[in-house]
Chains A and B, each alone.
Chain A
Amino acid sequence: MVGQRKLSIFSILNTIILIGVAIATLYPVWYITVISFSDTVSVLQGKVFLWPKGFNFDAYVQVLKDSKIPRAYLNTIYYTALGTFINLLFTAVAAYPLAQRDFFGRKFWMLGIILTMFLNAGIIPTYMIVQKLGLIDTVWALVLPNAIWTFELIILKSFYENMSSQIREAAKIDGASEYRILFSIVIPLSKPALASIGLFYFMGHWNSFFLPLIYLNDKDMFPLQIILRDMLIFNSESDSALVDRAALAPQAMKNATIVLSMIPVLLIYPFAQKYFAQGVMLGSEKG
């Protein structure tokens, strides 16, 4: 009897705690969205908590009329699309030879690649190379310095290794070149793995903040995250820190920009679960 009662108390407590966790993660996102649809006066008076007050789209109209934000949005889409494509192409093409057990110099290549996970030169020397190559203020500065993530490369290599080698042997006997085997057999067969690592690459580019911060000076090239940061924290180097930073930018407009920037991510998110969990798991096993 006692055990039975304890158990149900535990279940109730557990449910309450878990609902608390869900609220804690969802509410901030919900709150941002609600503010973006509310009228400025209610927001400033601190009357908005759960539902929009004075529901309107003004903030969104303002954002779309703004000269910077739509362009930044297009920039982000462009950088993310190109960046993710280059990432996947480079990773897939690099993982394929490495997955062949008797590939020339395989051990040497793997050692060279894994060592880079431990040896990190830091921001400055990398910046200097990007500068030297003349990539500053080009999209390539955001794409090439991280064209391959070593972690994702190793994950994909393991995936290829576990694919049946019979397909490759059979294709070879039929006279297919390695290029043909890779692009018309191996890559199509590895779609689930590519989707999983592609998700991480995609998120990396869409949310990227530091690389555009250091590599882009041209305001017309700024992606969304930089624009957001400017709305959020202008003059963090000056004495305006004493002024309330949040009050400086129009709340609703800023939040509308955040919501717009979250839309693609939130659209992908429910479908990405499987791949996301897969990626985290594979990553942790390799780590």
Chain B
Amino acid sequence: MQQPSVETGKLRTKKPLDSRFAATLKHIRRDRQLLLLFIPCVLFYVIFRYGPLYGLVIAFKDYSVFQGVMGSEWVGLEHFQKFFSNQDFWMLFRNTFLLGFFTLIFGFPFPIILAVLLNEVRVKWFKKSIQTFSYLPAFLSVVIISSMIIDFLSPTNGLINQFISFLGFEKKYFLVDPNWFRPIYVISEIWATMGYQAIIYLAAIAGINPTLYEAAKVDGANRWHMMRNITVPGLMPTVIVMFILNTGNMFRIGYEKVLLLYNPLTYDVADVFSTYVYRKGLLESSYSYAAAVGMFESVVALVMLLGANQLSKRMGGSGLW
């Protein structure tokens, strides 16, 4: 593999372009083992991440399995027009937006409050146990969580309904009542994510300079003062970053849970872009139409994320990247 030094010497005296080319070759040769190791990674990203992006051309075609992606006929924006003029469009947009928005607005404060409260606990083992318990749901599958929701809300013998009838009210069919879908989704989302999101805030609190607390103590501040004037302000940068991040990801709905909990009676409030894509594309085999809907969803999500980042830069923050 060793090249005679004479040759490299000759190349170096040639024109700059050639020498750059030679340097590249040399670089490749030097890194050949690393490059060989890197092949699976390149293949993975090309096939499973960039391949589907190329596959999106079917959103502008009338895809048929027999003609393939290349052979199918171009139809331009027909699928998009069909989707935008469909009455489903606004329903999906509203549902996706509202589920994301309510989860963000109602869910956001919980992990912060939990972290601040945990930070006030002086007994170590108690703090540790509560924190450990609080993120147990992060280990449960979406199927199990949905199963618990269905069980607890069951009209025949669900705990919630037993309690309701114990109080003398009429039992409720929560999961077939469109008014209840969003609250159920949001509350269970809070239950499932509060604990592990608190980890991030607890770490941020741990990063606050301890001399601040000592100085405050010397000045006679009690724990309430310290919490309000040191812990909470110290958390703010993390809170802002997390808020931007969550806003950017607002359109990424936990569609698996929606898929498990919705039914034809609650489609009007529960159906989101992803579940619609799943039904149209994979159950009804309208590949092109579903791909167009999916593409629209991705573009909206991307715009949201870029917009949130831009906004944070405008407001004097650093942005996320």
**Which residues of A are at the interface with B, using a C-beta cutoff of 8 A?**
3, 6-7, 10-11, 14-15, 17-19, 21-22, 24-26, 28-29, 31-32, 43-46, 49, 90, 93-94, 96-98, 100, 103-104, 109, 112-113, 116, 118-129, 133, 144-148, 153, 177-179, 182, 203, 206-210, 214, 225, 228-229, 232-233, 236-237, 239, 241-242, 244-247, 251, 254-255, 258, 261-262, 265-266, 268-270, 273, 276-277, 280-281, 284, 287
Stretch at the interface among B1-9, B37-45, B101-109: B37-45
Could you say which of A7, A126, A233 contacts B52, with CB atoms under 8 Å apart?
A126
Q: Which residue of A lies closest to B154 (CB)?
A: A246
CA distance A212 to B321 in the complex (A): 35
CB distance from A209 to the nearest CB of B (A): 5
Query: What chain B residues lie within 8 Å of A15 (beta carbons)?
Result: 121, 126
User: How long is the Cα–Cα vector from A242 to B156 in the complex, in angstroms?
Assistant: 12
B302 touching A122, Cβ below 8 Å: no
Q: Are A232 and B264 touching (Cβ within 8 A)? A: no
User: Considering the chains assembled together, what is the distance between the CA atoms of A280 and B27 in angstroms?
Assistant: 37
CB of A229 within 8 A of CB of B157, answer: no
Report yes or no: B143 in contact with A229, Cβ–Cβ below 8 A: yes
- Closest partner residue, chain B, to A241 (CB atom): B263
Question: A269 near B139 (CB under 8 angstroms)?
Answer: yes
Q: How far is the CA of A208 from the CA of B142 in the complex (A)?
A: 8
Nearest 7 pairs of A and B residues by beta carbon:
A122-B294, A125-B55, A207-B141, A94-B41, A121-B52, A246-B154, A125-B52
> Provided the pairs A93-B41, A145-B48 are in contact, do residues A119 and B136 lie with their beta carbons within 8 angstroms?
no
Choice from A6, A45, A119, A265 contacting B140 with Cβ under 8 Å: A265
Binary flags per residue of B92-128, CB closer than 8 Å to A gives 1, else 0: 0000000000000000000000100110110000100
Q: Known interface pairs A18-B130, A262-B140. Does A104 touch B146 (Cβ–Cβ under 8 Å)?
A: no
Chain B 202-232 interface residues, beta-carbon cutoff 8 Å to A: 203, 222-224
Query: In the complex, what residue of chain B is closest to A246 when comparing beta carbons?
Result: B154
For the complex, what is the distance from the CA of A61 to the CA of B159, rounded to whole Å? 26
Question: Is B256 touching A94 in the complex (CB atoms < 8 A)?
Answer: no
The reply to whether A280 and B114 contact each other, CB–CB distance below 8 Å, is: no
Shortest A13–chain B CB gap in Å is 9
Separation of A15 and B123 alpha carbons in the complex (Å): 10
Are A14 and B40 in contact, CB atoms less than 8 angstroms apart? no
Known A-B contacts A147-B44, A246-B158; the reply to A123 vs B34 at CB < 8 A is no
B133 within 8 A of A: yes
Bound CA span A211–B134, Å: 28
Contact B260–A233 (Cβ < 8 Å): yes
Whether B58 contacts A28 by the Cβ 8 Å rule is: no
Asked whether A32 and B148 contact (CB < 8 A) given A97-B31, A124-B287, A125-B53, the answer is: yes
B53/A119 in contact, CB under 8 A: yes
B223 touches A123 (CB 8 A): no
Q: Chain B contacts of A144 at CB under 8 A?
A: 44, 48
Question: B223 contacts which chain A residues (CB < 8 A)?
Answer: 7, 10
Q: Are B38 and A97 in contact (CB under 8 A)?
A: yes
Contact A270 B132 (CB under 8 A): yes
Q: Is the CB of A247 within 8 A of B156?
A: yes
B4-30 vs A, CB cutoff 8 Å, 1 = contact: the mask equals: 000000000000000000000001101
Tell which of B52, B141, B191 touches A24, judged by Cβ atoms closer than 8 Å.
Answer: B191
